[in-house]
Chains A and B, each alone.
Chain A
Amino acid sequence: EVQLVESGGGLVQPGGSLRLSCAASGFTFSNYWMTWVRQAPGKGLEWVANIKQDGSEKYYVDSVKGRFTISRDNAKNSLYLQMNSLRAEDTAVYYCARVECSTSCYLDYWGQGTLVTVSS
């Protein structure tokens, strides 16, 4: 059974940093693109970042470029999101998701999410 479990969320002051983790199991992690998607309270979904299977390609939404870094450790079946210079508008539930990218690309499994609150 595919499982994605996020951790690392919490309350942080503006300008602070946080590192999110996503532990994957039930599939060959190194075979898949992975992604982070966030959802501000009461708002819609926002794609944040993607990372290729071997970590050689990474893509970000403009609003987090230069502040967030997506990474992975295939030996540990883990995905990460390092978030620096956090702003109030980064407050959201952060989901990691597996990207099924055979003939097309879509997010077929999602974690339960971890809440990040940026506030003083």
Chain B
Amino acid sequence: DIQMTQSPSSLSASVGDRVTITCRASQGINNYLAWYQQKPGKVPKVLIYDASTLQSGVPSRFSGSGSGTDFTLTISGLQPEDVATYYCQKYNSVPWTFGQGTKVEIK
């Protein structure tokens, strides 16, 4: 099975900072990758699919890039409401593995 590895596992940044989260697949998955945001005590919400397509209604400060094995989620200008855990998920084939998550906090 393909493994999904996120880094870092947690980060602390200031409001307005540019934040980058990385997700690496152990084998190529083309661009079949989604990013989810889970705020504390809330249900996950999709931010990006197909590695770089922004879900409707998601603020434009979120962006995704990558293809093959290496992917990034970027928050351009961190806001207090972005405090959450972020997960990548592959869906090129089953199992639809999630990364282990990256917890983002405000410094």
Contact = CB atoms under 8 A, between A and B. Distances in A.
A45 B87 contact: yes
Given A104-B91, A107-B34, A113 B43 contact: yes
B98 A95 contact: no
Contacts of B101: 44-45
Interface stretch (B13-21, B44-52, B75-83): B44-52
B43 A111 contact: yes
Majority-rule SS of A interface residues: strand
A112 interface: yes
A108 interface: yes
B-side interface size class: 20 to 34
B43 A106 contact: no
B34 A46 contact: no
B97 interface: yes
Interface residues of A, number: 22
B87 A106 contact: no
B66 to A, nearest CB: 14
A50 B44 contact: no
Contacts of A113: 43
A100 B32 CA distance: 13
A72 B87 CA distance: 27
Given A44-B101, A47-B97, A50-B94, A106 B49 contact: yes
A45 B94 contact: no
Contact of A106 (B34, B38, B94): B34
